[in-house]
Amino acid sequence: MPQLKALIFDVDGTLSDTERDGHRIAFNRAFADAELDWRWDVETYGALLKVTGGKERIRYFIESFQPAFEVPVDVDSFIKELHQSKTSHYLALLESGAIPLRPGVERLLKEARSARLRLGIATTTTPENVTTLLCATLGAESIGWFDVIAAGDVVANKKPAPDIFQYALNAMDLSAKECMAFEDSENGLLSSLHAGLKTIVTVNGYTRNDNFDQAAIVLDQLGEPDVAFSVIDGDPWGASLVDVPLIRRLFVT
């Protein structure tokens, strides 16, 4: 039976609830700067989230929601520049402290380190978004807690493809059977499962109704000593928060 050696975390929706009040706001500020009359309200953004990757999401929006938009000749450059503007706005939101970690994240990361479990990140978002989030919430030294920050365009095929988790496993020189993944969405779970990882899911407002078949357990959050998680699916083995003992229990089940 392989031994648990590492935890690999998704970022958006898992480490922090970044989409509704973070990325979505940043996209809208970039659209305003570009004098585009596009505004992604909460509901529209929820529909657009089925496409992972900010650049891919803009392209999908143009193709599926803006039939009358006069697409620039060099649409790739147009999207790239718009996305760079969005990322600048998103980084500013992170640096302002507007986006905290979800409950239990800091606690679990520190517990995992104390238990000598290695840590990795596998995310679709832009690498700078990850390091800035870690700096803003845990301090700059937390970047070094992770053996790999596998992020964004480092792989050609984004989630739900397994590429980003496979990239992280290769970088850590680990097999999927030695790791537990943490995700928040159906796209993310498909990615981690197809890469062969058991996966703990913590849902959020946008993903609560996603399909999480085959997840090790589905929760509303990781929990804290004074705030128990709610179990949406799976067996918590009597636990009220996600800690290393529960992860080990789920890992061998």
Exposure letters 6-37 (e unless 16+ CB within 10 A, then b): bbbbbbbbbbbbbbbebbbbbbbbbbeeeeee
Minimum distance, C-beta of residue 40 to Mg ion, in the bound complex (Å): 17
Per CB under 6 A, does 186 bind ligand XBP? no
The C-alpha atoms of residue 167 and residue 231 are separated, in whole angstroms, by 30
Q: Residue 135 in contact with residue 149, Cβ under 8 Å?
A: no
Residue 126 touches which of ligand XBP, Mg ion, none (CB < 5 to 8 A by kind)? Answer: ligand XBP
**12 touches Mg ion (CB under 5 A):** yes
Is 12 one of the binding residues for ligand XBP (CB under 6 A)?
yes
- Least Å distance between CB 77 and Mg ion? 27
- The number of CA neighbours under 13 Å toward the Cβ of 92 is 11
Residue 13 in the binding site for Mg ion (CB under 5 A): yes
Min dist. Cβ of residue 238 to ligand XBP (A): 30
Distances 46 to 19, 205, 206 between C-alpha atoms, Å: 9, 9, 6
126 binds ligand XBP (CB under 6 A): yes
Of 96, 97, 99, whose CA–CA distance to 125 is shortest? 99
Active site residue ranges: 10, 12
Binding segment toward Mg ion, per CB under 5 A, in 8-16, 46-54, 71-79, 172-180: 8-16
* Member of 4, 6, 9, 10 binding Mg ion (CB under 5 A): 10
Q: Which residues bind Mg ion (CB under 5 A)?
A: 10, 12-13, 184-185, 188
